[in-house]
Structure 1
C-alpha cells in the first residue's frame, strides 16, 4: 500500500459512512443537513491527505478520523447521546427550525465538544502531547471555517428575507466558529493536563458538554418559515 493510501484509507471509511447516512435520512432532517456540509469537509481532508498537503499525514488522518467517529457514533446509533447533540436530535424534524440553524448547531456540537475530545483521543493513540498536534488542529480548523462559510452561503436566506430585525440575524451573530475553535483547543489542553485525575477530567468534560448543549438549544430556537410566519 502506498503511503498516501495508508493514511487516506481510514478517512475514506468515515466518508463512506457519512454517504450511507445521507442516503438513509430525509433531505430536510436536521442531522442530514449537517451531514451534507460535514461530508464535504471530510472529503476535502481526504483529498489533501492523498495530495501530500499535510506535514504529518498520520497525525492529520488520526485526528480527522477520531473527530468524525464521535459524530458518527451519535448519528448512527440509538442510545444516550452527549448533551451537546441532544438539541439537534430533538428538533431535527421541527418545521419551525431553518436549515441554516440545523447546520450551525451541528457545527457547534462537533467543534465545541467533539473536537476537544478528539484531540485527547488522538494524543493517546499516537503517544504525543496536544502541542504536537497543533499544526494539524489548525489545518483542520481552517477547513471547518470554510465549511461555515459554505453553510452561510448555501443556506442563508436572501437579503430580501433576512433583514436586520430577523431573529436569525441575532441568533447567528452571537456565535463564532473561531471562538469555538479556540475554546476547543483550550479544553483539549485542559483535559490532557487532567488525565491523571480521571474524576476531575470527567467532571470538566461533562460541564463542557452541557455548556455546548445549551448553546445548541438556543441556536435551534424555532423561528418559523422563511416568510417569518410561525410554523405549526
Structure 2
C-alpha cells in the first residue's frame, strides 16, 4: 500500500473558494455558469458527508477535495494571466461568446472536469490516503451517480425551450453526442492506467498530456457557437 502524502483540507474550504468565484464573476459568464453547477454538486457532497451517507467519509472527502482543487487551480492560473490545462482552455476562451448557450458552458466544464481532472484526482487521493484506486471505487461511483442526477437537472434547467425537442435543432444534435456516463467510465479506466504507470514518469507525462488534449478537443466541440 502506498504511504499517505499530505493532509486533506475539508470540503468546506473548497466551498468557500467556489462561493468567492461565484460572487466575483458576472452571472452570464460561461465559467460562472459551470461554477454554479459545480458549487451545487460540492455542496450536496458536503451535505451527504455530514449526514453520514458515505461509508468511508475520509476517502470521499479526500476524493472530492482533490477533484475540486484541480478546477480551482485552473481558475487561479487564468487569474494570474497564464494558460490553464488544455481541457479548460475552451471554456475560458469562449466564456463571453454570445453564440454559446448556458447549457453548453455547463457541459463543457463538466466534460473538462470529469474527463481529465477526475482521473488525476483519483491518483491524488490514493497518494493522500495511501490506498489503491480499487479502494476508492465506491466513493467514485457515489460521486459519479450524484453528478449524473445533477446533469439531468442541469439539462432541464438550462434547455432554452421546447424547440430543442426537434431533432434538427443544432443544440439537440451537439449535446446528443456527449454522455457523462461514458465520460465517467473512460475516466475510471484512465485513473487505473495512471496508477499502474505511476512509477514510469515519462509515460505518465505523455498519457496525461494526451488525455488533456483529447478532453480539450471535446470541450471545444461542445462550445460550438450556435444560432439562437
Q: Give the TM-score category using the shorter length.
A: over 0.9
Distance 1:198 1:92 in 2: 34
Runs ≥4 residues deviating over 6 A: none
Q: What does residue 80 of structure 1 align with?
A: 83
Deviation at 1:9, TM superposition (A): 6.8
**Runs of 5+ in structure 1 lacking a partner?**
1-7, 226-232
Tell me, yes or no, if structure 1 residue 180 matches structure 2 residue 183.
yes
Alignment root-mean-square deviation, CA: 1.4
Unaligned runs of 5+ in 2: 1-7
Matching residue of 1:67: 67
Aligned to 1:103: 106
Counterpart for residue 205 of structure 1: 208
How many aligned residue pairs are there?
219
Higher mean C-alpha displacement, 156-165 vs 71-80: 156-165
The Cα offsets for residues 82-133 of structure 1, whole Å up to 9 and x where unpaired, read as 1000000110000000000000000000000000000000001111000000
**Counterpart of 1:13?**
13
Any idea what the Cα deviations from partners look like across 1:145-175, whole Å, max 9, x if unmatched? Answer: 1221121010012213552211101110000
Q: Which moved more, 1:109-118 or 1:156-165?
A: 156-165
Q: Please, what TM-score do these two structures have when normalized by structure 1? A: 0.92
Give me the whole-angstrom Cα distance separating, in 2, the residues matched to 1:89 and 1:132: 34
CA distance in 2, matches of 1:90, 1:184: 24
For residues 157-172 of structure 1, the aligned pairs below 5 Å read 157-160=160-163, 162-172=165-175
TM-score by length of 2: 0.93
Q: Deviations over 1:8-34 (max 9, x none)?
A: 971011111111100100111010000
